[in-house]
Amino acid sequence: MEFENILYEKNGHIAKLTLNRPPANSINLATLQDIEKALDDVEQDKEVRVLIITGAGEKGFSAGFDVSDAANGHITGPKGQEIWTRIDRFPKPVISAVNGYAFGGGCELAMASTFAVMQENAKIGLTELNLGIIPGWGGTQRMPRILGKSKALEMILFSKRISAREALDIGLVTRISKEGELMKDVMEMADFLAQRPPLAVKAVMNAVVAGMEKGLDEGTKAEWQGTQIVAASKDAIEGFTAFLEKRPPDFKGE
């Protein structure tokens, strides 16, 4: 599998996608197409249980939409929105390792991920209004859901660029890492998630998305469907057996 603008590797149950257009790792149409191909592979590969997304180099996670690709804006806009929404609804955990500034579409990518871990010296924000445009890859929807309406509008209308500490304090990112320790921390998270029962992880993520997007009734329906699936699984038998035998479980995703 060949890619023009990303690096993609798999190691056991963990896949890693690196945006590879340093220093800014800005995202054009070709990059979105690369990301889509990688997502297809992660989703189809039963061995892969967790995806990590990060940026090449030390300065930037991603500055978002590549303004030099504006000629493709009528395609890139809807495509970016579609792919970030796919990440938000992805059946396997996605961890954004925010290794540098994450502005515009980069911030939107971090918000769409299951978890965002941010290096302590990084900055994050939706800065589109500085260019006379608006967040177009889900930022106007995800940020209010995460932060509440007033704080999100302050972030967007003032084009605020906030520190990792402030991002953690307001709930925009999941955790922060010391400089030089980001990938170690993210790999620890990914390793732990990779040991979780895959069918149960998928069922939980599906139920949460259903409830968040469609309301309580649809969410509880999805929860019950997930409950029935996992109750009949070999992993459930393994979980109970391992508990009784006082050993770590070995989940196969079956």
Q: Which are the catalytic amino acids?
A: 108, 128
Please choose, from the candidates 67, 64, 66, 202, the residue with its C-alpha nearest in 3D space to the C-alpha of residue 138: 64
Q: Are 232 and 199 in contact (CB under 8 A)?
A: no
Please choose, from the candidates 247, 221, 244, 233, the residue with its C-alpha nearest in 3D space to the C-alpha of residue 197: 233
What is the C-alpha to C-alpha distance for residues 119 and 113, in angstroms, rounded to an integer?
16
- What is the rounded (10 degree) CA torsion for 198, 98, 77, 136? 100
What is the C-alpha to C-alpha distance for residues 17 and 35, in angstroms, rounded to an integer?
8
What is the C-alpha to C-alpha distance for residues 186 and 5, in angstroms, rounded to an integer?
22
Query: Is the preceding peptide bond at 249 cis, omega within 30 degrees of 0?
Result: no
Number of helices and strands (H, E) in the chain? 10, 10
At how many degrees (to 10) do helices 198-214 and 234-244 cross? 120
* 164, amino acid identity: A
Q: Are 120 and 92 in contact (CB under 8 A)?
A: no
Neighbouring C-alpha atoms within 13 Å toward the C-beta of 104? 23
